[in-house]
A and B are shown apart, each in its own frame.
Chain A
Amino acid sequence: MSDEKVLITQAQQGDKAALEALISRYWQPVYRLACLKTANSEDAQEITQETFLKAFRALPGYRETNASFKTYLGRIALNLITDHWRKKGRSPQVVALADFQEPLTDPAPLPEESALSEERRESIARMVAMLPAEQRQAVELRIFAALSLQETAKLMGKTEAAVKMLQQRALKNLRRLFQEHGIIG
């Protein structure tokens, strides 16, 4: 049985570690898709959370057919995105599951990633929240959602050069904050 299947089986039984591993693994692609289709990082985050809630609530009945778990999540996210646009009284954008399948970061967690303590992760999240709004958005879209420079620029309504500048300033600010809090040397 593959690692993913093992995790899904354990998650079906309510194993919290397995749930966390699956959410960590697939958070970014779902968030990226939601960012791309809602053009709003807050809405995207809400949709991403809802996607995982729906997916895992239906997990006891989830049977792997030809679709991977990632595709299963993608379909749920696309339905939620469609609902999101309907609620806003606008026609949803044409969304394609192919967007979701775009190459992203390696889904397998890096060894160091698991070693990152909960406390440290919370500290980092707090520092990101401290950034000016545009810098924070640039970080969320470019790094958390793994969008391209062009996509980020489009979503933020800025030029690519402006996004380049925003991401550099954001990272410089974060580096300083991390050093101050002893997260990095």
Chain B
Amino acid sequence: MIRSALASFVITAVLLVVVVGIVLVPIAMQMPDPLAVLDMFVLGPFRNPRHTGNIIEMATPGMMCGLAVAIMLRAGMFNLGVEGAFFLGGLATVATVLLVPLPGWAMAPVGLAVGAVVGSSVCAVPGLLRARYDASELVSSLMLNFAALFIGLFIVNYFLRDPTAGAMVSYKIPNDARLPRLVAGTRIHLGTIIAVAGCLLGTVYLFMTRAGFESRIVGLNPAFAAHLGLPIRWILLRSQLIGGLIAAGAGGIEMLGLYQRFSWQGLPGNGWTGVVVAILARDNPILLIPAALFLSYLQVGGDLISRNFDVPSEAVGLIQALVLLVVTSSAIMRNPRLLRFITGRKAAANKTSGPKVAEGSAA
């Protein structure tokens, strides 16, 4: 058991290095000094405390969106509304803080609570339609992401827009509402602690509570869950409500932690990063923390080379896509020869190709 977990860890680590190399080396070769590019990407994030802080800031939404995706995936739900929930959650939080007269101390908690509830609708509505009418949560959540985007932009343009600012951005978020910074010289804020605590609570929820156990049964084997007489519809809906609340809360935390004004003009992409984080962490909430840190380390490295050399930071998107692909590839991850090579013993039981990973809802 421990050996196979170790093998999986080793394979993942080697794959990640290979993937980063495959994308980065050819791009670096285009530059006059390839070694300087690679050096900046790999070691640059650690040379300056501010950049190391950036890794932790960026990992914060990654952890929370990853947690939201993981909780829904564990229940077998391919709900991709995390992206829209994150966006709408951030917007509703800023709108509450700006429009509702609140005492200073209440701004952040009330704003985040309202943001979480409003934003969670992007995950909850597909969840409800799935539970009530058996409509595909995959397709409806993809649609509602864009609906949330345009409704959000409407609210910014008509209710929150600061006419003195040049671009379409909101009024300034009041200082009282901002989340406190934790480490001098970086922008690490209270949200990081909330995110780490969220991952720990997520572990408790999934593995130590009745509700989490039920959702894992439904996700692993719906027929068995039905046979047990579990309230499947309610369990599915509950997972997606929780996921939506977490993702939308993450959007609000991101806004109050890092931003001066609401300035997103499009979907920020954190939800998709959350999918990659969750898959990399094998839907295990504890592992979300290193997975999110790793992906944001890549992002910071990408930003550094794009600022210092003529390399667009989009290269990181290619790395993310490849990570998603190879980590879900059971031909690599469950390859019996590879596993035997690493654990150093003959595991005859591994001969079978293993259970299928997350069956697609293509029907």
Chains A and B bind each other: no
Interface residues of A (CB under 8 A from B): none
